[in-house]
Amino acid sequence: MIDQLTVFLENTPGRLTALCKALGDASINMSALALADTTDYGIVRIICNDPVNAAKVLQAEGFRATTTKIVAVEVPDEPGGLAKMLHTLDEAELNIEYSYCFLDGTTGNATVALKTDEKAIEILEAAGYRVIHPADLYKTTK
C-alpha cells in the first residue's frame, strides 16, 4: 500500500497556500492533490515523494498531518477504464471510502488512488491490474 499524506485544514484564506509552501520549502514534490471540503474544514490528500517526512515537516509547522495507507492502481486512460476496475472491486464486495485519479503522462495510464481494504491489492492483481508499490510511485514523483 501507498502512504498518502493527509492534512486537516480549516477553511480559512491562505491555509492551502501555507500548506503547499511548507511542502515546497522542504523539497517535497506532489503528483496528486485532492481536497474534500466541508463548510468548516477540508481534508487534503496528497501523493508525494517522501510522505512520512512530509507529515513530520507539516506537524512541526503546526499542521494536523498524518499518513494514511491507500491502494494505487493503474487503469488504461480510455472511456470505461475506471468503471471496469471498480466493477472488479464491487464483485468482491469491497467498499471504497474515497477515491481520486491522476494522470502519469509517460505511461498513457491513469493512476487511481483508493481508500479501501488491503485485500483489494490481491483482487486487482488477480484481475490483471498493475498495483503500484511505494518504490514505483515515490521514484516516479521525484
Partner 1 sequence: MAYQDEITHMDHGELEALQLYRLKRTLRECYERIPFYKKSFDDAGFDPSSVKTLDDIRRAPFTLKQDMRDAYPYDLFATPLDQVKEIHMSSGTTGIATVSGYTDHDLKIWGDCFARGIGYAGGNEGDVVHICYGYGLFTGGLGAHYGGLASGTTIIPMSAGNTKRQINILRTMGSSIICCTPSYAMHIADTAIEMGLDPKKDFPNLKAGINGAEAFSDQFRENLESKLGIKVYDIYGLTEVMGPGVAIECAEQNGLHIAEDHFYAEILDPKTHEPVPDGEWGELVLTTLDKEASPVIRYRTRDITRLIPGQCACGRTHRRIDRLHGRTDDMMIIRGVNVFPSQIEDICAGFDEIADWYQIELTRERGLDVATMKVEINPGFPIDEVRRIEDLQHRLKRALKAELNININIKIVEPHTIERSTGKAVRIVDLRE
Binding site for partner 1 (CB under 8 A): 6-10, 36, 38, 40-41, 43, 45, 62-64, 66, 68, 97-98, 115
Residue type at position 130 = R
Which residues does residue 75 pair with via DSSP β-bridges, in sequence order?
Answer: 110
Joined together, the cell numbers standing for residue 4 give: 498518502
Choose between 32 and 129: whose C-beta lies nearer to partner 1.
32
Q: Judge contact between 32 and 4, C-beta under 8 A.
A: no
User: Which CB sits closer to partner 1, 62 or 79?
Assistant: 62
Task: Extract the runs of DSSP E, i.e. beta strands, from 11-141.
Answer: 30-37, 41-48, 64-76, 96-103, 109-116
In the complex, minimum distance from the CB of residue 45 to partner 1, in angstroms, rounded to a whole number: 8
| Least gap, CB of 39 to partner 1 (angstroms) | 9
* Residue with Cβ nearer partner 1 (98 or 119): 98
Closer CB to partner 1, 8 or 78, in the complex: 8
| Smallest distance, partner 1 to C-beta of residue 7, A | 8
Q: How far is CA 117 from CA 4, 50, 68, in A?
A: 15, 23, 12
Indicate the angle between helix axes 51-60 and 15-25, nearest 10 degrees. 120
CB of 64 to partner 1, least distance (A): 5
